[in-house]
Structure formats: C-alpha cells, structure tokens
A and B are shown apart, each in its own frame.
Chain A
Amino acid sequence: MNTFFKLRNYALIALMASSVVLTSCGDDDDDDVPEPVNEVEVITDVKLIFTNSNDASDVVEARAQDPDGQGVQELAILDTINLDTSKTYILTYEIFNNLETPGEDIGAEILAEDDEHQIFFSFTDGAFSSPTGNGNFDNAADPINYNDLDDNNIEVGLNTTWTTPSTMTANGSFRARLQHQPGVKTATSTVNTGDTDFDLEFVINIQ
C-alpha cells in the first residue's frame, strides 16, 4: 500500500475519532435539578369576604381549602356563611396558592386578566332581597350586583354587592364559580363558557 493510501486511511480514522470527540462534548454526567418555580396555576385556598357596607369592621369570612392542589386529597369547605338579616354586604375574595412560601396571590393575576374571567353565582331562591331570584347559573342575564367591569365593559365579579332581606334563611346554599374564558368572554357568555378555576358551594345562614 503506498503512502497515499496510508494517508487516506489515517484521514478516515481521524474523521471517525473527531466524530466521537464532537459528540462527546455534552456528555458530562450532570446532576442538575429543575429550578424551583412560582406555581401560577394551582389554587389551594379561596376565602370569601363579606364586608358590611356601613361598617368595615363587620366582616364575615368563609374559607375553602384543597391543601395538596392537584393531588388527590379532597377539597374541604371550612366555614359556613353566616350573614345578618337586612344588611348590605360587599363580597370580595382572597385567592391563593399556599403550596408556595410565601403564598402566591392568584387573585392579583385574575384581576390582571379580568377580561378573561367572570364569577357566576347560584343561591337558594329568594335568599337575598338584592339580587332577587336564585343567581345567574341558570340564566346568565339574571340579576347579580356586579361592581366591576373589565376593559370591554363586561362584568367580572371580584367585587359584588349583596343585600339580605328581613326574612331568615337556614341551611341555604351559596355557590360561586370562577370561569376562565380566554377569547370567549362576551356579554352573553355563561357559567358554562370556558373552563372552571374554582367552583365552591357553601352553606349559608341568614339570621
């Protein structure tokens, strides 16, 4: 075999070797762990806060908690809503992911994207003097006293007003459902439009 052929073979061996080296560069056995994240999707704690519109110190709170978020542990409704008769309350929320320390305020994110969200309500018929009826689950046009509007002038529901009648209600039901409606929220969208972020049913007593 002449020199040329030898050289040629060496060249091929070099090519083979270089391919090994090339592909070896990233082969360091790393031990990296995914970086911690701020979990922005999970909701573990929702608190309904009813504040007497005439007395800011008169506050009724009702909590719901799913401590393991996406895990299989069951949701717990921790409180009953106990309101007084013949009073007007403003309903607001605290919505948190407490799997994080400190907890992540999901309520602030919902407010930032309020044109994609709306809260709907369902309650024992006639439990309130205003709104009347049983809420806007069955018919989205039914009365609810929304105090907030998004950029498209559509109701949001992070702030609503509730007036109790002089008659009492025992063991009634109060259900609030936050719908996430990206691209599909309209003036006529309903409780079944989009996807549910929370859907919580509390026992309500008006006494």
Chain B
Amino acid sequence: MFLSFLMLLSPIVGLSQSDSCNYSVRGTVLDVKTKKPIPYVNVVVRGANRGTVTDINGAYVIEGLCSKVNTVDVSGFGYSDSSSTSNTSQGETQNIYLEQKALKLKTVNVTGKLEKKKGTETISQIQMGQAELSIDPTRTLASAISEQQGVSFTSMGSNVQLPVIHGLYGNRVLVLNNGMKHGFQNWGTDHAPEVDIASASRITILKGAAGVRFGPEALGGAVIVESDPLNLRNPFNAQVGAGYQTNGRGYNSSLKLGQGFKKWSYFVNGSFTKIGDRETPDYVLTNSGKEENTFGAGLRFYSGNWDAKVYYSYVNQNLALLRSSIAHSGTALTQAINSEEPVIIRPFSYDIAEPNQLVQHHFAKAEVSWKNDKVGKLTMRAGRQINGRQEFDVRRNSELPIIDLELSTTDYQLDWKHKPWMGLDGLIGVQYFYQDNNNNPGTGTTPFIPNYNTDRYSAFLIESKTFGKNIIEAGVRMDFEINSVRGREVNQSIFRDEYDFANITTTVGYVRELSEKSSFRTNIGTAWRTPNMAELFSFGQHGFKTQFGLLRYYFNEEGEVRTDRVVPIAESEIEPEVGYKFINELEHKSGRNRHTLTAYSHYIENFIFNRPYAVISTIRGPMPVFIYDQADALFIGFDYSWNRSWTESISGTLGISYLWSTNMSKNEPLINQPPISADYRLTWNQGEFWWFTASKFTVKPRYTFQQFNAPREVPPEDLIDGTEIITNDSEIFDFKAAPDGYFLLDLTWQFELNRLSGSLSVNNLLNARYRDYLNEMRYFANEPGRNIMLNLRYRIGANQKGS
C-alpha cells in the first residue's frame, strides 16, 4: 500500500487596509513525502464561498476576504481532505502539518466538515457531494439520496420517485432547489421534483422539521440541492461526461464548464439522458423508459461588499409509466393485480407511449448580497419558476393530454444575517411566495386539479448562542396564506372557493459536546401545511384509482356518501396539518469507530391520507373508490450508523433504519410507510492501483424487510363480489399484501487516471426478483434486475470538484 503524506504550507499575510474585505490567504500545497507541489487541488475558504485551485507550482491565493480568521479546506483527488484555520491579523507564517493518512478518494459521508445552514444547526443532517452523485448521474434525486439512513423513496416506477424522510413524502418534504422552493405539481405519488442531479454540486438532507428557515410544508424535513458555487479565481475548467447502462440500454452525456476571475465567474452545464424499457430478470417492463435534457448557467459579480449571482436552469423530461399499471375498471384492476407477470409485455423499445408525462421546468433566480462590518449581511433573492406538465393516459383520446397544467411560482426573500449582538448570532427574514396554476384547454376531460392562486407572506427570526462548544438555537416563523380556487364540476358548472390560513412555526434546538468523543444534538420543531389541491379537490379517475378529495364528498342525512357538489371549505371541518417533531442525535467517536444514533418521534395532527372507501357500481362495472381523510398520526423511529476503519484503507459502515407509525385516531396502521432496512457499505480505498492514479471499491449488501406494520389485504375481487363489505368505519386495507423482504448486492468501482475519472458499478448484482413496498408498481410488476453502469468523465483545464 502506497502511502503519501500531504503537507500544507500556508504562510498567510494579513493586509490591514481600511476596506474590511481586503484580507487574503495564500500558500502552497505540497506532498509531504515527495515534497513536490501538488497542482490542481481545490482550496476553498469555509463560509466565504470563495475558492481557487492551486497552480502548477501548488500555489494558491484567495483575496478579498472579509474575515480576519479564515478556515481553508483543501481537497484534491487522491489526497485526504484537510483544513487549516489561520488568524491573519497576527500576520504570522504558519506551517500546518497534516495528519498522516492513506491516499484516499473522498469518503462518502462528509459529516466531518458539514457547512450548516443557519437555523438548522441543531437538526440532524447529511450531505452528499459530486463524487457520490456522479456514480449514476441519470437517477432521480430521490433515488440518489435514498442511500442515506432514514431516507427512502416512494415511486411510480423507475422514473417518478419522491424522497421519503422518516416516513413522510410529497409536500411534507420541502425540495429546495438553489435556495428556492421547487415549484412543481407536488401532489399524489406520481409527481416527482424535476431536479437534475448531474448539475448539483451538493445535496443536503435535513431530517428534522426545518420549516422556520425554509417555509411551511417542511414537516418531514428538507432536501437542499445546490448548484455550482461560482467560486472566484477559479481557472478555466471543463468536464465532459458520458455513460452507458445495460438495463434499459440507457446512455447519457453531460458537459460542464466554468471559470472564476477576480471579480466575476460563470458556469454552464447541460446533459442528455435516454433510457429504454427497463427489464426485470424475467420480462421487459413495457413503457418504462425516459428522456431528459437539462441546461443550466450561472453568473456572478463580486465587488467588495457586494455579491450578485444569477442562475437559470431548464429541465425537460418525457417519463414513461408502466403500460400495465393502467386499469379503468374493477375487473381490469383485479386481473392486473392477480397476474404473476404484467398483463402487457412487449419486446424492448426506446419508444415512450401512453401513459407518460411531459414536463418542462424553467427556473430563474437572482441573488444579491451586501456585507457590512457594522450591519452584517443582507441578501435579497428573487426567483421565478414555470412548470408545464402534460400527462397522457391510455384512453380513447390518448393523443390528448388528460392533465395539462402550467404552474408559475414567484419567490422573494430578503434576509439579514446580523452581526453578533449580545452573543447572539441570527438571521431575520421576510418572504413573499406566489403561485398561479392554470389548466390549459384541450384535454377533453374535466380538470382534475382546479385553477388556483396562492399568496403567502412570511417573516422569520432565528437566533443562536454559542457557549464554548455548545450551541442553543431557537427560531419562530409566521406565515399568512391566501388561496383562491376556481374549478369545474363534471357538468361544467363553475365552483369557487377562497380561504386563508395563518400559522406559527417554531424550532428550539441544542447541541452539546458531552466529551472529547461524544456530542449530542436535540431539536423540537413544529411545522404546518395547508392541504394541497389534490387532497382537497381531486375528483374521479387518475391512474388506477378513482378518488375524491376532502371537499368533493360529504355524507347526507342518511349517512350515505355523496359527491354531487363541492363543499366550501368554510362549511367543512378541514384543518391544516400541524406536526411536532422531536429529533435527537448522539454521536460517539472512539479510535477507529464512529457511532451515530438518531432517534425521533413525530406527531402530526390532521394528517391527510388516501384510503380505500368503497366499491360502487358504475357503467364500467364495480369500481373501488378512494377518499382523502384526516386523522392524527404518530411516527417513531431511529437511524443508526456505525462506521469503522478496519485498516488504513478499508472501512465499513453499518446502517439501520427503523420506523413505526400509526393512525392514532383509529388505532390502525398507516399505508405506504417505509419498512425496516439494514445495509453495510464496505469500502476499500486503494489509492494508486495498477496504472490508475486512484481507485476505490465499494461493496454494499442490503436487506429490506417486509413491512410488518402494513394494512390488511383485501383483494379487489373480494370487494367486487361482496365477500368484504367496506363501510366508513372499516379498518384500513390494501389490495395486495406488502411484498416479501429482499436482499440486494451492489458493487461500485471508482477510479481516476489523471484527467479521466469514472465509475463502473453493478446494481442488483444477484439479479434478485423483488417488489418494493413503496413503489406503486408493486401491484403489477417486479423491480428491474441487474444493471451494469459505466460512467466516465474527462477533465479539461483545472480540477473542479464539489467540496
């Protein structure tokens, strides 16, 4: 095993000038063993969003820093990351000798140097960088983050996947794209956030209620996607990527380039992905391909106290849904569910036919911040998103979209990070959020979702106080939301509703250093959420369900359910969801071991869920009907991880996620909750290997248990023939029992050969046949089988990686 030592020589010069942002850091990065300079390694000033890459002599300089004390993070491929803190006011030359370490690729968990967002310091969180994201750049955001403990995804096939944090998904998990709430059709399980992970530089997953900082709806947590940080003084760098995968015969390509000058910087990126029908070990999943094009660009101007950034991104997707998942009648549903194999299997094809979704998402954002020693930092953000979505269904008029919506989202945020005051560090902000949803004509069907406008005014305050290594953090937020809704009933008469909600969100947290080896963090957060439009207004058939929103059904004097009018919200008993999440994390490091235990309990009042209600006779024959309902729910669980360095180069991480949940109002299980899972990730970081400049092997066996806490099984035929009679008081049920537990084995080899880097990975190496409880396609088909993926990236110019 070749060992190499890295030494960072950082003679740091303080320039005491009147302009407060005239500090700088400079130095040289050297290899301890060879004493040779190391070119092209990233040097980033922590918290300042400033960075550079060492030149051919290993030298770097970062000027224009506003702080006297700077911590510099150094990361270079093939070297261990390291950081060094220097106080430039002393003007001393400091030699910092770094700990001897094996030559390594970046480790997967970068928790050691988390850069936490204000207002989330006491919340358990995980970050993922580009190195992990690039192993499979074609997967969905939800799939990428689901490797983390406590995170999973719920899906509608391979293309539509939504993140699940501690059992909650949809608009209980806030997806923040580049600082803005991602404005998309966030309802049901068949609408996933249109976020391109190939262009993300970092993803942070917050596992607690993060609503104070980011807005309502973050009951379960938040997923924060950040694009290129637009570092200044960054030499021209470009990266060309290409990849192929065997399952679905998919290919992808991407291009990124960027450059940072003294006063400004830019980046441009784009990608293309095409995947055909996925295959299970035994059959083709007919109509399961996808096509995706993305483009992104950013520009930054920096000038003393001012810093301005402009971003634009575009995602265009054509996503296929499994052909065999469509059933418009009870008999067809029964047949599809009971069939061993999907009812329609055709030879492999790249073609995407109905059912499918066409989505275009435009995102534009401008951000300006102003820093002043006396005041602190003021940041103004303005964002605009336009989301166009067309969904096509198998039907007589299949050439017409059955859903055709345009949603525009406007965001203004102004926040003030005030300078420390009486020992308090804080952030104060005001926000205005506006959404306008419109149905485009030409669907030939009554709109499933009405037209609506939402206006939300918010203000928040977060303060923290540090005592030694302990931190107390508290925050409060007020939101006032006004909704105006216009829709059509099936007879085309118009219905309207207007309603508003005002709510307060709070958070209190504490981080305590128990000893040199142990730390403890705890957080209690409240959050709330207005029922979404599908939960309130959905009416009729969508996918294989006939469903009625909370305002679309009522009980008449005889206690029979009726759907012939829309109930005004003022007449109904509908309340917003309010959640209380208590999350604790204990971390213990000793020698080669690191244990992290995250335990939580989450109580949600007026939890909204979809449940089977009855079988009604229709022209199409008997149909199972679903309604939205509200009840109080409780979620209790833990995530545990144990990391151990077995040798200098071999380390392993054991992860276990456990969740138990219940409907407290009816004392029965909830549907579609993540089962218990356990995995072990064994990593062999070889450093130089063969002719590769760096090489790392990862083996990941994982076992997902059956969901033991699932609703009882009532097959649709039992409802249709009257064997099972469902009433309003019946216990919750599912059409199919939760699938058996399953074992999967994944392998990954990451390598670098000078400017060429890449990965060769195999998912589901054993070609296991299984169904996933959180995939709605589990009623109809198995999950895809073995998939071998090769992804290559070639660097032009200097090294540029996420840090």
**A residues whose Cβ falls under 8 Å from a Cβ of B:** 5, 8-9, 12, 15-16, 19-20, 22-24, 26-27, 29-44, 46, 64, 66, 68-75, 99-100, 109-110, 113, 116, 177, 180, 182, 184, 192, 194-200
Contact = CB atoms under 8 A, between A and B. Distances in A.
B408 interface: yes
B490 A68 contact: yes
Q: Determine chain A's interface SS by DSSP, over half rule.
A: loop
Interface in B722-747: none
Given A15-B308, A70-B540, A113-B396, A199 B621 contact: yes
A38 to B, nearest CB: 6
B488 to A, nearest CB: 5
B451 A74 contact: no
Nearest to A77: B617
A203 to B, nearest CB: 15
A73 B539 CA distance: 13
Given A30-B453, A32-B451, A41-B445, A72 B562 contact: yes
Contact of B490 (A27, A32, A40, A99): A99
B444 A37 contact: yes
Given A39-B445, A99-B491, A99-B492, 19 more contacts: A8-B303, A12-B308, A15-B366, A16-B366, A16-B382, A22-B382, A23-B410, A33-B451, A33-B486, A33-B488, A33-B496, A40-B397, A40-B445, A41-B396, A72-B548, A177-B621, A196-B329, A197-B620, A199-B620
A41 B444 contact: yes
Contacts of B396: 40-41, 109-110, 113, 116, 180
Contacts of B446: 37, 39
Given A41-B395, A199-B620, A31 B484 contact: yes
Contacts of B618: 66, 70, 75
B368 A12 contact: yes
A26 B408 contact: yes
B551 interface: no
Contacts of B395: 41, 180
Contacts of A23: 364, 366, 382-384, 410, 412
Nearest to A45: B619
Nearest to A201: B621
Contacts of A26: 384, 408, 410, 436
Contacts of B617: 74-75
Given A23-B410, A37-B445, A195-B332, A72 B541 contact: no
For chain B, which range describes its interface: under 10, 10 to 19, 20 to 34, or 35 or more residues? 35 or more
B15 interface: no
A16 B380 contact: yes
Nearest to B441: A35
Given A40-B444, A184-B344, A100 B303 contact: no
B447 A195 contact: no
A72 B553 contact: yes
Given A15-B366, A113-B396, A70 B490 contact: yes
B186 interface: no
Contacts, number: 183
A92 B281 CA distance: 47
B614 interface: yes
B383 A34 contact: no
A43 B185 CA distance: 29
A109 to B, nearest CB: 6
A29 B441 contact: no
A19 B366 contact: yes
- Most chain-B Cβ atoms within 10 A of its Cβ — which of A29, A33, A109, A184? A33
A64 B453 CA distance: 40
Interface in B754-787: none
A39 B619 CA distance: 16
Contacts of A46: 619
Nearest to B561: A72
A58 B412 CA distance: 73
Interface in B568-612: none
12 contacts: A5-B303, A12-B306, A12-B308, A16-B380, A22-B382, A31-B484, A39-B446, A39-B492, A75-B617, A116-B396, A197-B620, A199-B619
Contacts of A43: 619-620
A16 B412 contact: no
Interface in B431-452: 434, 436, 438-439, 441, 443-447, 450-451
A36 B383 CA distance: 32
